[in-house]
Structure 1
Amino acid sequence: MKVSTIMHTDLATVGPNETLIGLLCSMRGKASRLLYVIDAAGRLLGVISSYDLLKVLTPFYLDSNMARAMGEDENFAARILEENKGTVAKDIMVSRCVTLFEDAHFVEAEVLFTEKGVNALPVLANDGRLLGEVDRGAMVAELICLFGRICPELR
């Protein structure tokens, strides 16, 4: 089974010069925790995870005690956005990311999840265009279908 048959295709994609506000808007309502940075031809340039965004949005000097004392401070949020208004996707993205090609066997995805410590992988066409994403949920769903053919309890 190829990863192209189990990948998700409803991805959040942005250009390398997308602003922080644009990144946050692009991520809203998407199931994936990843933003994919692509060029005009749809080729993958990099990936921005939720963790990468939170690193930008949470000041380095903030500790748990300070965070607890803040309460519901909307001024803090406004200040963070103002401090980072010049931040764009290419400033945050990880350009050296693990990928799969569309014709990779789906078991290769699980091996990479384990080896690289990731939970989702971008799936690329041979020319580098982003086609989709395979994650552990898709893997489990596929295995349930596969095992359901030989195990009546899983049908």
Structure 2
Amino acid sequence: MQDSQYTVGDVMTPTVVALAGGATFKEIARTMRQWGVGAMPVLDGLGRVVGVVSEADLLRKEEFRDSDPDWPGERPRPADAARARAVTAEELMTAPAVTVHPDAGLGRAARLMARYGVKRLPVVGDDGVLTGIVSRCDLLKVFLRSDEDIAEEVRRQVVAGRFPVSLDALRVTVREGVVTLTGRVPDTSLAPLVVRLVRSVEGVVDVRCLLTGPPRRPVLEPDLTDSEKPACRPTGTRSSRAGR
């Protein structure tokens, strides 16, 4: 993978177990068990994703198996009741499906998962055709980057373009994904920006900024011009020689 931001297409699983709309309840349950998956996309005749069936959708049937529709406290919502009676993928599925494009960044995929409370997303192209699936586990693959790769990207893509100093003066070290920046820089006002940019590098766990600015000369005689200020100031105790 390259230095640029990782995309969903970089980490997704291209082989997907999918369903036709006419798949029966028991076929779905058997397929989930066989492949060890908790949700599957439902496709139309052209391979486009039209919905998703999850374990939760199947469990509606078990959840309301013993419920009494005449008992107010056990009366399910119409949507739940319909799923409890469903027998095919098309009837069971949640639609429209929450999907993501393969060119989307990993941050967008993570936000979609959090917003909709799902653990995986079908990946679809511009035509809506299924190209893969991305899970929470897939999004964590970026944290498997080596410390050396992360350090090299930080040096070349972040530090080199913002501080006109040699890499010997500004040191970048990475240990277990934690980036540490040390050294002196001409302008410390850029440090917050650099920290933010380093954090955006894929695989970075945290950033520790220990950058310092150029050494300051103490102002010893503020009332004098630079030409009148002494190059150095005597130190020690001066004894009086009066009377000699």
TM-score between both structures, scaled by the size of structure 2: 0.49
Retained in 2: the 8 A contact 1:14–1:37?
A: yes
Residue-by-residue CA offset, 1:111-136 (whole Å, 9 max, x unaligned): 21222222211110110011111111
Cα distance change of structure 1 residues 122 and 148 upon mapping to structure 2, 3 Å threshold: farther
Cα distance change of structure 1 residues 32 and 39 upon mapping to structure 2, 3 Å threshold: same
Instruction: Return the offset for 1:106.
Output: 1.5
Match among 46, 50, 54 for residue 51 of structure 2: 46
Cα distance change of structure 1 residues 147 and 108 upon mapping to structure 2, 3 Å threshold: farther
Q: Which has the higher contact order (CA 8 A, sep 6+)?
A: 1
Retained in 1: the 8 A contact 2:50–2:97?
A: no
Instruction: Return the offset for 1:17.
Output: 0.9
Cα distance change of structure 1 residues 96 and 44 upon mapping to structure 2, 3 Å threshold: same
Which runs of 5 or more residues in structure 1 are unaligned?
A: 63-82
Retained in 1: the 8 A contact 2:49–2:97?
A: no
Cα RMSD after superposing both structures: 2.5
What amino acid maps onto 2:51 in structure 1? G
Cα distance change of structure 1 residues 121 and 57 upon mapping to structure 2, 3 Å threshold: same
Retained in 2: the 8 A contact 1:11–1:30?
A: no
Determine which structure has the larger helix proportion and give its number: 1
Aligned to 2:18: 13
What amino acid maps onto 2:15 in structure 1? D
What amino acid maps onto 1:139 in structure 2? L
Match among 26, 34, 37 for residue 39 of structure 2: 34
Aligned to 1:153: 176
Task: Show the 5 A alignment for 1:1-155.
Answer: 1-61=6-66, 87-145=87-145, 149-150=149-150, 151-153=174-176
2:97 and 2:148 map into 1 onto residues whose CA distance is: 33
SS across alignment from 1:95: coil
2:146 and 2:104 map into 1 onto residues whose CA distance is: 17
TM-score between both structures, scaled by the size of structure 1: 0.74
Instruction: Return the offset for 1:54.
Output: 1.3
Residue-by-residue CA offset, 1:101-154 (whole Å, 9 max, x unaligned): 111111211121222222211110110011111111111122332766333436
1:148 and 1:96 map into 2 onto residues whose CA distance is: 42
Count of aligned pairs between the two proteins: 134
1:93 and 1:103 map into 2 onto residues whose CA distance is: 26
1:92 and 1:43 map into 2 onto residues whose CA distance is: 17
1:61 and 1:122 map into 2 onto residues whose CA distance is: 34
1:141 and 1:50 map into 2 onto residues whose CA distance is: 25
Q: Percent identity?
A: 27
Which runs of 5 or more residues in structure 2 are unaligned?
A: 1-5, 68-83, 151-173, 178-244
SS across alignment from 1:122: strand
Cα distance change of structure 1 residues 7 and 14 upon mapping to structure 2, 3 Å threshold: same
